[in-house]
Chains A and B, each alone.
Chain A
């Protein structure tokens, strides 16, 4: 059973977002990690890079395919999860702790969904 914590927001492109004191933490949803299968490589931006809402900022590679990851927000990267570069499997193990990047100075956001609405999106994709 896939899990969508209610305290997070989601995008239609299967990223999750958590906002705390103006810092937006971004990761991949349970649906995304399940659909991708075993992730073997994660490509992350660098600290101080700009990300734009709706545009790719990362790509993840699984045994099946390489997929783009889209930024839910426009802003500046203040931290990346370097641990993922050595251990991409962490996303499969616990996708809500294995965040990708943290973004500050956010000026714009994509349409963000709550857990219930997002679960509906996932159901429709199936």
Chain B
């Protein structure tokens, strides 16, 4: 399809931008551009068709099944958008006086209370803009804590080998050294290796539970105890909270701080539909280090912003992605106390259902009851037929399914990681299972067809290698 610049015709005007309502100010010539901006000139009709055409090329959860593991691509209820579109939320400015935005402060306060209850934490910041930003903020809390005790020897963050790739990356960004601990044969943390890894240099542990194999680590209390006895703190990566929301609390597992992905667990848009939101919660002994500001409630029922006593400062401007918090609050209150538990239960049920339908056809390296996601290994299939995880993933596109996560976690070779989420019906799961079973049979019968897949999509198989090695990052104008 043509790009906007290719559709552009000189002087083809359009009036999407309203006339300026405030007095125009002229600048000194030295501050002005020498050449006009190169903007496409296009009619509103053509612009509208252009974006509609782009929309047709996407795949979202509104288009079909989207089992992208560890991403929790659940359906985002429309009521979330409706509430977040209220003019009282969209028309406010972050610099307005507190007394004129009490409703917005109440949203932040109430969401904090609810999420603290769900996670077993005592306080929370909404500043981090997404998950990895939350991880980074959580690690700064751990750093601040040790610094406040003049405990400067603690430089190591322990990360299991099944961790999300962001964990070690965030730890390095926050100035720590990463110590990897291997998994045991059941897919959990190897306790003996963990005991060997801890010491007076241990700053903390980063862990997601259930882990990226979709397995709940039964030794979790022992794990957090080992870290605490060594003087470290425990950080919970909330990416997989959808498996346990309302049932088990990270705070009760021994974690000291957590991040949540509102755009995963709490039904707010994800990916291109973002922005995200990665609030960080902590136990009371860490709350004075939280980023500023934090919303508090006075005895008279009014709300105000407070700077925590030993704050790390700000990790983002103002109060984070506020409208995302509005959507998450709408989601939580729509589901209610029972609905939250039902959502996570169904997420686990759906994953186990799909896993059991597929495990006769594909290898399941960790054959246990899973939580919200599970991981298949196509290593043997690749050996026998030449068909890889990539080929099966591309093949699923032809059937209107967004592929599962591929080649992750790294401890499973030729991995496909499925997370169906609670929002899919049994019929959708059955259809998806039939499609993946069909693809498995195709691997025996016509591997070449799968090497070339997808066949029915807008584009075939893009040359990812050239795209990564020689990316075209901007439009080249004719006269350049």
Chain A residues within 8 Å of B, Cβ to Cβ: 35, 38, 40-41, 61, 63-66, 88-89, 126
Contacts and interface: CB of A to CB of B under 8 A. Distances in A.
A89 B165 contact: no
19 contacts: A35-B413, A38-B464, A40-B465, A40-B468, A40-B469, A41-B468, A61-B468, A63-B464, A63-B465, A63-B468, A64-B390, A64-B406, A64-B407, A65-B407, A65-B410, A89-B465, A89-B469, A126-B379, A126-B383
Contacts, number: 23
A35 B415 CA distance: 13
B266 interface: no
Contacts of A61: 468
B145 interface: no
A16 to B, nearest CB: 21
Nearest to A67: B410
A40 B465 CA distance: 7
Contact of A38 (B165, B410, B465): B465
Contacts of B464: 38, 63
A118 B165 CA distance: 28
A40 B463 CA distance: 12
A40 B470 CA distance: 9
Contacts of B390: 64
A112 B383 CA distance: 28
Contacts of A66: 165
Contacts of B165: 66
B408 interface: yes
Given A63-B464, A126-B383, 17 more contacts: A35-B413, A38-B464, A40-B465, A40-B468, A40-B469, A41-B468, A61-B468, A63-B465, A63-B468, A64-B407, A65-B407, A65-B410, A66-B165, A88-B469, A89-B465, A89-B469, A126-B379
Bin the interface of chain B by size: 10 to 19
B408 A65 contact: yes
A65 B468 CA distance: 12
A116 B348 CA distance: 46
B410 to A, nearest CB: 6
B443 to A, nearest CB: 18
B60 to A, nearest CB: 24
A4 to B, nearest CB: 19
B68 to A, nearest CB: 16
A52 to B, nearest CB: 12
Interface string B143-165: 00000000000000000000001
Nearest to A41: B468
B185 to A, nearest CB: 15
Q: Which 3 A-B pairs have the closest CB atoms?
A: A40-B468, A38-B465, A64-B407
Contacts of B408: 65
Contacts of A89: 465, 469
Contacts of B413: 35
A41 B469 CA distance: 7
B176 to A, nearest CB: 14
A61 to B, nearest CB: 8
A40 B471 CA distance: 11
Nearest to B468: A40
B120 to A, nearest CB: 33
Contacts of B468: 40-41, 61, 63
With a 10 A CB-CB cut-off, give which of B165, B406, B408, B465 has the most chain A CB atoms: B465
A63 B407 CA distance: 10
Interface string B209-247: 000000000000000000000000000000000000000
Nearest to A92: B465
A49 to B, nearest CB: 16
Contacts of B406: 64
Contacts of A41: 468
A38 B407 CA distance: 14
Contacts of A38: 464-465
A35 to B, nearest CB: 8
Contacts of A64: 390, 406-407
Contacts of A126: 379, 383
A66 B413 CA distance: 14
Contacts of B407: 64-65
A65 B389 CA distance: 13
